[in-house]
Amino acid sequence: MAFVRRTIPNVILLLLLSFLATMTERAICRLIVPTSPSYFLRTTKAVKLSTGNMELVEEEQCSDRILRLTCRSLKAFIFVLEAEYQSNRTSICGYESQRLIAKKKKFKLGVKNSRVKDTRQLRGNYIKDDEEEERYLFDVRASFNRKCSGQHHCRYNLSSDHPGTTYWHPAALRLKYACVPEVAVCKYCNVEVRIPKGNEGGYLKSPGYPLYYPGGYSCGWTFKSSPGERIILTFHDLNIRSPEADGSCIDVVRVREKGNTLFERCGIAAGIKIISNSSLVTLDLIASTKLYPARGFLLQYQVLGCPNISAPNGSYISYDTVTSRTFSCKSGAVFPDTRKENRILECKNGKWNETVDKLPTCVGKKRKI
């Protein structure tokens, strides 16, 4: 008994000491920041999910530093939404202008010397909405997700965690990650998932993620949205048993819709988007062994598309796709601001590119000008 009584305070003391140590570490960091030319930017905000708050963290730091990702809540895990290396933003690393120019030149030379090919391959296979016109941006989400997603905290070092970046010059690394509360994540098999409206949708991880995934029994999900709404599943991190030498899969992740297979694969991938054609899809994880030591998967489910908008007065919907809607004025009329008969709205990330309630009504076209 006496032994127990003595050890408990010791444990507390130890905890207190380590806490103090981290506090001092932080205090020191804060002291360093103003005297060093480089800086560090962090903003945090909360996003309401149906099951609680999700913390969103945005950070910018020089790519030659270790990035520390942490979630304040122990009952939340990291999920990397965006990670970009911005080669032309070097001021965050504290370069003087002369050095900056020299470095920039060096990098440009490097790009010319066929490095561009390598770096493009390293961007991962995320599907980009925009043309990749910006050559100075490099998407490093895939390696961030591999290293950090599913963890409570994580340390990321670009040059050792993203293959092929050893010779990239120090520049801004912009990062956006979410601390997803465990309760907001569906992690049990054989449930029906109703997809909430809104941009974020929800997340699902395979049981055991990111340590292992189970098998030997049926493990599947049904996703449902409202009639007329299509579904997007994004595998932000897929990591199951690699294919055999002949390319065949032992374990497999499969997405089906009305008896058609939309997606089926094994191995490792990040950023794969699957878009359904209806409001109901099923997902199955088919694994042969009871437990397999790979990460499994983390995916996001969302409703595709923007709010339904009806045609402004005097016009009708002349063309409608998943990502755009064209309104045309009835014959002889035009939209007053553009003087054009047609108006195209584009749906991006759940929002129309023009405020819907600002759409003007068609007016008669003046015969003569």
Ligand X SMILES: *[C@@H]1O[C@H](CO)[C@@H](O)[C@H](O)[C@H]1NC(C)=O
Closest approach, Cβ 298 to ligand X, in A, equals: 25
Q: Closest CB to ligand X among 65 and 265? A: 65
Which CB atom, from 39 or from 136, has the smaller least distance to ligand X? 136
- Least distance CB 347 / ligand X (angstroms): 9
User: Least CB distance from residue 205 to ligand X, whole Å?
Assistant: 28
Q: Cβ of residue 22: shortest distance to ligand X, in angstroms?
A: 18
Kindly list the distances between the CA atom of residue 19 and the CA atoms of 13, 23, 31, 76, 338, in Å, as whole numbers in the listed order.
Answer: 10, 6, 18, 20, 62
Residues in touch with ligand X (CB under 6 A):
65-66, 88-89, 134, 136, 157, 159-160, 228, 277, 308, 310, 313-314, 344-346, 353-354
Structure tokens at 102: 């020299």
DSSP assignment of 317-344 equals EEEE-SSEEEEEEPTTEEBTTTTBSEEE
Angle CA 134–100–29, to nearest 5: 100
Least separation in angstroms between CB 12 and ligand X: 32
Compute the least distance from the CB of residue 123 to ligand X, in Å. 17
- The answer to whether residues 201 and 305 touch, using CB atoms and an 8 Å cutoff, is no
Closer of 33 and 66 to ligand X (Cβ): 66
For the CB of residue 362, give the shortest distance to ligand X in the complex, in Å: 9
Nearer to ligand X, 34 or 228 (CB): 228
| Closest to ligand X by CB, 298 or 303 | 303
Burial of 156 (0-12, 13-18, 19+ CB in 10 A): buried
Q: Supply 194's token pair.
A: 């109703």
Alpha helices in 209-349 (DSSP H): none
Structure tokens that stand for 199 in this block: 């941009």
Please say which residue, 199 or 313, places its beta carbon nearer to ligand X: 313
Cα distances (Å, whole numbers) of residue 160 to 63, 145, 156: 11, 14, 8
Give 237's strand partners. Answer: 298
Q: At closest approach, how far in Å is the CB of 43 from ligand X?
A: 19
Helix (H, G, I), strand (E, B) or coil at 361: coil
Q: Which residues, at least 6 apart from 47, have a Cβ–Cβ distance to it below 8 Å?
A: 53, 54, 55, 56, 178, 200
Closest distance to ligand X from the beta carbon of 82 (Å): 17
φ/ψ of 135, rounded to 5, equals -80, -10
Give CA angle at 263 (257, 267), nearest 5°: 150
CB closer to ligand X out of 269 and 347: 347
Asked if residue 369 lies in contact with residue 320, where contact means CB atoms within 8 angstroms, the answer is no
Residue 162 to residue 140: CA distance in whole angstroms: 7
